[in-house]
A and B are shown apart, each in its own frame.
Chain A
Amino acid sequence: AQTVTQSQPEMSVQEAETVTLSCTYDTSESDYYLFWYKQPPSRQMILVIRQEAYKQQNATENRFSVNFQKAAKSFSLKISDSQLGDAAMYFCAYRIRQGGSEKLVFGKGTKLTVNP
C-alpha cells in the first residue's frame, strides 16, 4: 500500500527558533514528487515546498527547506526562524503517475504551534 506517515501529530516551537517536521512514505515507484502543504486556521491549502524525486539537491524556499533521503523514503521539513504566522497544520504528500492513473497521497498532518 502506498502511504505517507507523519509521526508527530503535534509540534511546538518558540518564535525565531528552528523546527523539523518528519515525513516518511512508502512507494514502489521511482518517479514521483513530494510536497509540503500548510493549512492555517482559514483552512486554505497552501503549497510550502516541492521536491522532485529524481533531484538529489534538497529544495529550499526562503525559511523552509527539506531533507530528502530517497533511499530511506524520508522527506522532512525544516522551518527556520519560526514566525507566529507559521502556526498551522502541515501535510506531507507525494504524487505519482502510475500507468494511466494519478495519485496524490497525503499524510495525516502535524499541527505546529509557535509560541511567542
Chain B
Amino acid sequence: EAQVTQNPRYLITVTGKKLTVTCSQNMNHEYMSWYRQDPGLGLRQIYYSMNVEVTDKGDVPEGYKVSRKEKRNFPLILESPSPNQTSLYFCASSWSSGTDTQYFGPGTRLTVL
C-alpha cells in the first residue's frame, strides 16, 4: 500500500530533550516536506527536500533540523525542544515539486512541557 508513515504518532517530552520524528514514504517520491499545524493558523511549511541531500527552509524553520540521506526518509529533528513547538506535525511527499499532489502522513502530536 502506498503511504507516508510517521513515528511516533504521539509524543510528550520536556524542554531541551532532543527528539526525532521519523517520516518514510514507499512511493519513490522525490519531494518531501514537513508542516506544523496550530489552531487558527492552518498548516505552515517547516522544511522541504526536493531530492536526496537537497533541503531548504520553509516559512517556520527556526528550532528544527532535517536531513535527507535516503530518498524514502526525511526525519525532523528538534535539538532542544521548547513549549512553543507543541503542535501537530505532518510529513508529506510527492513525485516532484511544484505540480504534483502531496500525500500526507497521519500526523504526529507533540507536546513539549
Number of interface residues of B (CB under 8 A): 25
The residues of B that contact A31 with a CB separation of less than 8 Å are 98
Tell whether A102 pairs with B98 under 8 Å between CB atoms, given A43-B106, A91-B43: yes
Render B66-84 as a binary contact track against A, CB cut-off 8 A, 1 for contact.
Answer: 0000000000000000000
The residues of A that contact B103 with a CB separation of less than 8 Å are 47
Tell whether A102 pairs with B42 under 8 Å between CB atoms, given A33-B99, A43-B106, A97-B98: no
Pairwise interchain contact B42-A106, C-beta atoms closer than 8 A: yes
The residue from A44, A47, A96 contacting B101, defined by CB atoms under 8 A apart: A47
- Given the complex of chains A and B, what is the CA–CA distance between A52 and B35 in angstroms? 22
Pairwise interchain contact B107-A44, C-beta atoms closer than 8 A: yes
Pairwise interchain contact B90-A45, C-beta atoms closer than 8 A: yes
Is B58 engaged at the interface, CB distance under 8 Å to the other chain? yes
The residues of A that contact B31 with a CB separation of less than 8 Å are 102
Render A90-115 as a binary contact track against B, CB cut-off 8 A, 1 for contact.
Answer: 01010111001111111111000000
Is A68 engaged at the interface, CB distance under 8 Å to the other chain? no
Number of interface residues of A (CB under 8 A): 28
Docked complex: B37-61 residues within 8 A CB-CB of A: 40-45, 48, 50, 56, 58
The residue from B45, B90, B101 contacting A103, defined by CB atoms under 8 A apart: B45
Closest to A101 in B: B56
The residues of A that contact B97 with a CB separation of less than 8 Å are 97, 102
The residues of A that contact B107 with a CB separation of less than 8 Å are 43-45
- Given the complex of chains A and B, what is the CA–CA distance between A100 and B42 in angstroms? 25
Q: In angstroms, how far is the closest chain B Cβ from the Cβ of A90?
A: 11
Is B25 engaged at the interface, CB distance under 8 Å to the other chain? no
Pairwise interchain contact A108-B58, C-beta atoms closer than 8 A: no
Pairwise interchain contact A108-B41, C-beta atoms closer than 8 A: yes
Interface pairs (27), CB distance under 8 Å: A4-B42, A33-B99, A42-B106, A43-B88, A43-B106, A44-B106, A45-B90, A46-B104, A47-B102, A47-B103, A52-B99, A91-B42, A95-B98, A97-B97, A97-B98, A100-B56, A101-B56, A102-B31, A102-B48, A102-B50, A103-B45, A104-B33, A104-B45, A106-B43, A107-B42, A108-B40, A108-B42
